Amino acid sequence: MGDKARVVVERFMRGLIRRNPGESEFHQAVRGVAESITPHIVADDRYRKAQIAERLTEPDRIIIFRVCWEDDRGNVRANRAWRVQFNNSIGPYKGGLRFHPEVNLSVLKFLAFEQVFKNSLTGLPLGGAKGGANFNPKGKSESEIMRFCHSLMVEMYRHIGDDVDVPAGDVGVGPREISYMFGQYKRLANRFEGVLTGKGLSHGGSLVHTESSGYGVVYFTQNMLERIGESVEGKTCSVSGAGNVAIYAIEKLNQLGAKAVTISDTTGFVHDPGGIDEEKLAYLKELKGVRRGLISEYVERFDGATFHDDRRPWDVPVEIALPCATHNEIDGDDARTLLVNGVMAVAEGSNMSCTPSAVRQFLDRRILYAPGKAANAGGVAASGLEQSQNAQRLAWSREEVDSRLRTIMRRIHAQCVDRGRRDEEFVDYVAGANLAAFEKVADAMLAYGAV
């Protein structure tokens, strides 16, 4: 970045921080994008005159509401819920709902902001949004989850619709929660429409939706490796997290002949040098997806695996690292360790998995590093495909959805290469993703005038 652009970024960030005090995750996400796009805004009078950067960082609206529900003991409980409708320039708002005790406005604004760019990269007509509640699903009974989901939808239904805003799942929200919310929406609106994605297969859900984020991360990694004449096959990989993204990333790694050696949850990580094969993965799907147990149980079941209490898996030597847990899960020290151990590719299954210091080191060392908005766009892409199927009242086969997902990931990779190529060998996937995503959204905003 030139001196002029740097001064502009710093001035812009001072204003953004003043307008959004204390929202450190949102500041971090905006800075990441601002550093990529500012040189282009400075060089293009149209963007500057239209105040595109200011408008792109101000959400269209934020809805905040109380969710009251009754627990199994008959106590009334109150939670806070949000929907951040960030930008609908290129399609109806689209993005997940997160149920987690640490959800707050800063986290949801960062996620909604990232979603605008991610959704643009998919090439589908999807605006950007995110929502959720500071509700902790852990330890709640099935009927408590149902009552919470139903109550949340009593308020949210008036703000969403298949042409308005289409929420999906995220951390703490899977097909079970989506179906409870869809049932309540259908009752209140008296409409059976594609208003939520990630639904069960009996009521408008799409095949491959559950697998899509995890498969997509591996497809993207495969694309990056193939560009440099390498392949996923035979590589040792660390994966963090134990949700759908992590589980299905491991499944796809296995299918492509790679070996995943780690998995983690909030209590620590498991290292299995023998590799998490199909049988072990089936066990994990049951442990985490059905029983909702702790990862440490894995080592009692499988010989040779070790549990590392309260630690992340980044000091295990690997060629590929796929962070699939949560934001800022790879910090500067982790990045240094991964690099010392010879990592060649890092692709973000979670959103903003890497701190700015980690990102800087990966780019300086010119490894293959893919930001979440490119690497994990497979999830929302499959959501877009579910919307298309719902609109046509059709259900595509597994092969059809998977092949479209593969094509979308390949096109996202191609856009990143096109806009992020630095020289013969090196592609800056951060700049590439940000620029390609920005241009599409910004051009639509320019076309609309001052709205």
Among the options 94, 118, 130, 199, which is catalytic? 130
130 as an active site residue: the answer is: yes
Number of other CB atoms surrounding residue 312 within 10 Å: 19
DSSP letter (8 states) at residue 288? I
DSSP letter (8 states) at residue 53? H
Query: Using CA atoms, how far apart are residues 134 and 417, in angstroms rounded to an integer?
Result: 38
- CA distances in angstroms from 63 to 67, 158, 177, 189, 265, listed in the order given: 13, 11, 20, 19, 31
Instruction: Provide, rounded to whole angstroms, the least separation between the CB of residue 167 and ligand 2IT.
Output: 7
CB of 319 or CB of 348, closer to ligand 2IT? 348
Binding site for ligand 2IT (CB under 6 A): 94-96, 118, 168, 170, 197, 351, 379-380, 383
Is 354:362 a contact under the CB 8 Å cutoff? yes
CB of 122 or CB of 262, closer to ligand 2IT? 122
**Both tokens of residue 451?**
């709205």
Is 121:419 a contact under the CB 8 Å cutoff? no
Query: Using CA atoms, how far apart are residues 437 and 380, in angstroms rounded to an integer?
Result: 14
CB of 170 or CB of 265, closer to ligand 2IT? 170
Is 228:368 a contact under the CB 8 Å cutoff? yes
Query: Using CA atoms, how far apart are residues 118 and 409, in angstroms rounded to an integer?
Result: 11
Query: Which residues, at least 6 apart from 33, have a Cβ–Cβ distance to it below 8 Å?
Result: 113, 117, 434, 438
- CA distances in angstroms from 152 to 8, 80, 110, 140, listed in the order given: 41, 9, 22, 16
Q: Which residue is nearest to ligand 2IT (CB)?
A: 96
CB of 223 or CB of 351, closer to ligand 2IT? 351
CB of 168 or CB of 322, closer to ligand 2IT? 168
CB of 254 or CB of 351, closer to ligand 2IT? 351
Is 128:117 a contact under the CB 8 Å cutoff? yes
Instruction: Provide, rounded to whole angstroms, the least separation between the CB of residue 125 and ligand 2IT.
Output: 13
- Give the catalytic positions in this structure: 130
